[in-house]
Amino acid sequence: MDEVFELGSKIREDFPILKRLVRGKPFVYLDSAATTQKPIQVIEAIKNYYEMFNANVHRGIYSIAEEATVAYEKAREKVAHFINARSPREIVFTRNATEAINLVMYSWGLSNVRRRDVLLTTEMEHHSNLLPWQTLSKLKGATLKFIGFNEDGFLKLEEFDKYKNKSVKLFAFTFASNVLGTINQVRELVKYAKKMGAVTIVDAAQAVPHMPVDVQQLDCDFMVFSGHKMLGPMGIGVLYGKERLLEEMKPFMVGGEMVKAVSFESSEWNDIPWKFEAGTPNVEGAIGLAAAIDYLQRLGMDTVRKHEVKLTEHALDALTRVDGITYYGPSSPEQRCGLISFNLKGIHPHDLAMFLDNEGIAIRAGHHCAMLLHNRLGITASARVSFYIYNIPSEIDLLVNNLEKIKKMLEI
């Protein structure tokens, strides 16, 4: 077996769910772009919190409250180190990437965007990085514009020329498309935005879990991602923001924990990042995310990336041998993240997913919260397979064998 593929085989024992049967068949999970499965190390870290030091943070002075606070803030430090932020003060915990984007929309956007300003995004965005900017443009009378993509799944960089002399306040774009798989050249896109004087926000939900990411090297102003897509629990997300911008922004929500002082007439906000974390935070989520980061760092993010490139290469080769398959996005596995969206002629993606589920194989089917992209491709839906560190080549082979069986059964 290729040494790169050994990773998936070695660590599968760490994932309890992969041992179960689905409809009497061995479980094959190919939907990690939606959410990843959790290793026992993450599950045990959360269990240990509830069994040993379950308490609210930043409030109690008794022992387990202090232990919980230390663990929560150490999680913030680990996130900062993982993406090479300058300081843990640049890390805000949210529920998910969607909430993080909305935080920027309300806390930065409402104060900085003016009538007739331009908000720029792309045609390959997840709804989470589209709907907030639609909302902001309507609230402020701004104009929302889009950078398109070509038939190979890459952004049309020449379209930036149209906005050279426009008042572009924001450029919001995805690091890696959750449909096309395209890995965008973030550093270059940030440079384009800076020339226009625009603030940048990067949706890195499909990137941070899969490859080394260095926010200082990329120089983006904001970046968001979700814990549940990188072995962590649901309900915990991250907003990275440059300290200068976070200091200037007003809180997204107000209430407990995010104030220094309160009078009958007014309040004084807490320091960053805590002024953005109103109420009781998701302590278990932060602790679980920290355990997930520990797990990924033990493997090494370069190793994680190599595994996915190799697996994607194997999958592209296998899928393209199936007559009637059309896949979307770059043809090179090095230029895409570990997912492939496709259609099989003669069968709707929803039906395809149902047939595969009967064989114990879980894939995604639909528009993947990217209707604009699907409309641009001239399709209403697609099937999507996505991989992570626990997937192995034999699972891809089983998928392809079942695609051939479905074709024969339906005579397509």
- Here the tokens at position 88 are 């843990």
Instruction: Please give the Cα distance from 296 to 203 (Å, whole number).
Output: 20
Helix (H) or strand (E) holding 368: none
**What amino acid is encoded at 196 in this protein?**
M
Residues in Cβ contact with 304 at an 8 Å cutoff, skipping those fewer than 6 apart: 7, 210, 211, 296, 389
Are 92 and 277 spatial neighbours (Cβ–Cβ below 8 Å)?
yes
Q: Of 43, 369, 371, 400, which is the active-site residue?
A: 369
Give, as one character, the DSSP assignment of residue 186: H
Residue 238 near residue 100 (C-beta atoms within 8 A) = yes
- H or E element that contains 211: none
How far is CA 325 from each of CA 317, 404, 407, rounded to the nearest angstrom? 12, 11, 11
SS3 letters across 41-101: HHHHHHHHHHHHCCCCCCCCCCHHHHHHHHHHHHHHHHHHHHHCCCCHHHEEEECCHHHHH
Assess contact for 112 and 169: CB atoms under 8 A: yes
DSSP codes joined into one string, 58-73: SS--SHHHHHHHHHHH
Q: In the annotation, is 220 catalytic?
A: no
* Beta strands per DSSP E along 107-221: 118-122, 143-147, 168-174, 199-203
- Phi first, then psi, for residue 76 (nearest 5°) are -60, -40
Residue 124 identity: M
In angstroms, the Cα distances linking 9 to 13, 117, 250, 301, 394 are: 8, 52, 48, 17, 10
Report the half-sphere exposure of 263 (CA within 13 A, side-chain side): 3
Q: Cα 377 from chain centroid?
A: 22
Tokens of 224: 């968001």
Nearest to 169 by CA among 83, 85, 245: 245
d(CA 220, CA 174): 12
Q: What is the DSSP letter of 107?
A: I
DSSP reduced 3-state for 54: coil
Q: Which active-site residues does the annotation give?
A: 369
